[in-house]
Structure 1
Amino acid sequence: MDLRTEIRDFLSSRRARIAPEQAGLTAYGRNRRVKGLRREEVALLAGVSVDYYVRMERGSLAGASDGVLEALASALQLDEAERDHLFHLARQSGAPSNPRRHKPAAVTVRSTLLQVLDAISDAPAWICNGRYDVLAMNQLARALFSPVLADPRRPANTARFVYLAPEAAKDFFVDYDRIASDVAAKLRMEAGRNPHDEKLIALVGELSTCSDLFRQRWASQDVRLHRSGRKRVHHPVVGQLELDVESLELPDEPNLLLNVYTAAAGTPTADGLALLASWAATQQMPATELQTPDG
């Protein structure tokens, strides 16, 4: 993943989606050669020289102040995730040249976090990293995500499930197209934070090689934050569940996320989770990798 190319493609794709009228500008002439805003129009909106903006869009954000980046984010009408991604790219642009790829050091999921997972008995809960590796799950999450865990590789990875087992993923995720877009966008967000992560580079390469859909979604340059929301799944045993999802960053583990799935009491989904818990108690659930989440 070449950083200059990442910056160029991200900025040009955001510029291309904004019509002059959307930015409060008058579009002179009918034969505009570019889709969206021209570079000079972005420079005008951001309050920088055309030469400076052209240099930034060619892949050089090194030295750009926070004020300039904020102005650029405003000019390009970036949402919160896109703004964060811009700042991540800028920080990486200012890093030493020719950085080495790094293999994340092996860590463990702390025993207290495993206790937290086990204490959440009425809701599926699991811990992942920014690459979508499944690092630890409680019993109910292992039951819920049994289709994802069918792949014998450990740690299991939900991005691989979505893109490399598309038929199973379409059966499981009711809103498969949205899930696929979100997964690619969140992986790109992670790539902005950690562009030299060897395992992330390998994962993106594997998905790009094996999935036409991933290549299309990756090329969109879209980014997403891990946030709360609703996820609809069709479990092979208990049927459709509409789950409220909370993705929580762990203060002492900044690269990990705790995901908890709940349903309001008295709803069909709450009944479905209770049935799932009863079923799980009678099953030998697939193991998840608990000890080496980044190893």
Structure 2
Amino acid sequence: MDNRAEVRQFLSSRRGRITPEQAGIEPYGGRRRVPGLRREEVARLAGVSVDYYTRLERGNLHGVSDSVLDAIAGALELDRAEHDHLYDLARAANTSGRKRAAGAGGSAPSKVRPELQYLLDAITEAPAFIGNNRLDIVAANTLGYALYSDMYRNPSRPANHSRFIFLDPRAHNFYTDWDRAAHTNVAILRREAGRNPHDKGIAELIGELSMRSDVFRTLWAAHNVRRHYAGTKFFQHPVVGLLELNYQVLGLEEDPGHTLTVYPATPGSTSAEALKLLASWAVTENIVETAQAKVGS
């Protein structure tokens, strides 16, 4: 990922969404040709010179201090995910060439330690899976494989959330709000790309999706980022129907680049009963063996 271009496009897109009225300042200068704040107004809000902010927005974050980043984030009204993303971009800009070369291609492994599979298998009442920073599913429990069974239909590729959402027509039925799922997925992938700017696997995935999906390409150009740790999701599973599942995403400190996601249903709910049916179906159809065979092929 081109760090300078990413910085330039991210900052200019955030600047363009805020009006002087929203920022609580008097408009600077005369007639406005573009929406949003001018660079001069952002500089004033952040307490830096116009020349310095212009340098930053042109993609040069070399040597920028945390205090300046915080001031820029405040001026542009960045949320937590956007603030973190700006820090990620600055870190990448200030990493030496030697360190960049050493980190190039450092994708998270596509397999997990046996102990993590044991952990997944111990979770029996909720779908659970371990994902990497390319948004692949690298391991799952029985209900996890069953929930995402459609994602394992292509044996030539690892199960990947982004490819499924943008390249598989079944995803439009699986996600009850496909548009929201698509927006969220792109925002998560962009955050991962910012955190791992020299990851060849992420870059190749972005390139593939940009070539094959007009929707992805449009959403990617918006430069939105998002944190994704907890909430509720709705799925229309082809076997058991509508599922309303809570989710929690947990980082794995000993396994950088991997997260554990668990989807429990509210106890006593229709979704909890549906998960019981899903577990029975998974055993009857040998879902785990089929999915693992495709992953290993």
Q: What TM-score, normalized by structure 1, do the two folds share?
A: 0.94
Contact 1:5-1:59 at 8 Å conserved across structures: yes
Q: What letter corresponds to residue 73 of structure 1 in structure 2? A: A
User: Equivalent residue of 1:254, what SS?
Assistant: coil
User: Equivalent residue of 2:31, what SS?
Assistant: coil
Contact 1:136-1:289 at 8 Å conserved across structures: no
Q: Which runs of at least 4 in structure 1 moved beyond 6 Å after TM superposition?
A: 289-292
Q: What letter corresponds to residue 262 of structure 1 in structure 2? A: P
Contact 2:19-2:37 at 8 Å conserved across structures: yes
Task: Give the C-alpha shift of residue 217 in structure 1.
Answer: 0.6
Whole-angstrom CA distance in 1 between matches of 2:249 and 2:126: 13
Q: Deviations over 1:147-185 (max 9, x none)?
A: 1111213421111000111x2101101011011011111
Whole-angstrom CA distance in 2 between matches of 1:163 and 1:291: 20
Establish whether residue 68 from structure 1 lines up as the match of residue 68 from structure 2. yes
Task: Give the C-alpha shift of residue 234 in structure 1.
Answer: 0.5
| Structure 2 equivalent of residue 132 of structure 1 | 135
Whole-angstrom CA distance in 2 between matches of 1:97 and 1:190: 21
Q: Check 1:180–1:289 CA distance in 2 against 1; reply closer, same or farther (3 A cut).
A: farther
| Structure 1 equivalent of residue 9 of structure 2 | 9
Whole-angstrom CA distance in 2 between matches of 1:107 and 1:168: 24
Task: Give the C-alpha shift of residue 227 in structure 1.
Answer: 1.4
Q: What letter corresponds to residue 68 of structure 1 in structure 2? A: V
Q: What letter corresponds to residue 59 of structure 1 in structure 2? A: G
| Structure 1 equivalent of residue 21 of structure 2 | 21
Whole-angstrom CA distance in 1 between matches of 2:50 and 2:292: 53
When the two chains are superposed, the root-mean-square deviation of aligned CA atoms in Å is: 1.8
Q: Deviations over 1:245-274 (max 9, x none)?
A: 111111211210101001111111111111
Q: What letter corresponds to residue 202 of structure 2 in structure 1? A: L
Give 1:192's match in structure 2, choosing from 194, 202, 215: 194
User: Equivalent residue of 1:190, what SS?
Assistant: helix
Q: What letter corresponds to residue 17 of structure 2 in structure 1? A: R
Q: What letter corresponds to residue 7 of structure 2 in structure 1? A: I
Contact 1:128-1:134 at 8 Å conserved across structures: yes
Q: Check 1:219–1:253 CA distance in 2 against 1; reply closer, same or farther (3 A cut).
A: same
Establish whether residue 110 from structure 1 lines up as the match of residue 122 from structure 2. no
| Structure 1 equivalent of residue 291 of structure 2 | 287
Task: Give the C-alpha shift of residue 11 in structure 1.
Answer: 0.1
| Structure 1 equivalent of residue 77 of structure 2 | 77
Establish whether residue 222 from structure 1 lines up as the match of residue 251 from structure 2. no
| Structure 2 equivalent of residue 172 of structure 1 | 174
Q: What TM-score, normalized by structure 2, do the two folds share?
A: 0.93
| Structure 2 equivalent of residue 234 of structure 1 | 236
Whole-angstrom CA distance in 2 between matches of 1:105 and 1:118: 22
Q: Deviations over 1:207-239 (max 9, x none)?
A: 000000000010000001121011100111110
Q: What letter corresponds to residue 210 of structure 1 in structure 2? A: R
Give 1:256's match in structure 2, choosing from 251, 254, 258: 258
Q: Check 1:291–1:110 CA distance in 2 against 1; reply closer, same or farther (3 A cut).
A: farther
| Structure 2 equivalent of residue 206 of structure 1 | 208
Which protein has greater RCO, CA pairs closer than 8 Å, 6+ apart? 1
User: Equivalent residue of 1:26, what SS?
Assistant: coil
Structure 2 gaps, min length 5 = none
Whole-angstrom CA distance in 2 between matches of 1:107 and 1:170: 26
Contact 2:188-2:226 at 8 Å conserved across structures: yes
Whole-angstrom CA distance in 2 between matches of 1:15 and 1:63: 22
Establish whether residue 52 from structure 1 lines up as the match of residue 55 from structure 2. no
Contact 1:156-1:288 at 8 Å conserved across structures: no
Whole-angstrom CA distance in 2 between matches of 1:189 and 1:55: 23
Task: Give the C-alpha shift of residue 65 in structure 1.
Answer: 0.6
Establish whether residue 142 from structure 1 lines up as the match of residue 145 from structure 2. yes
Whole-angstrom CA distance in 1 between matches of 2:84 and 2:106: 24
Contact 1:135-1:290 at 8 Å conserved across structures: no
Task: Give the C-alpha shift of residue 110 in structure 1.
Answer: 1.2
Structure 1 gaps, min length 5 = none
Whole-angstrom CA distance in 2 between matches of 1:181 and 1:55: 30
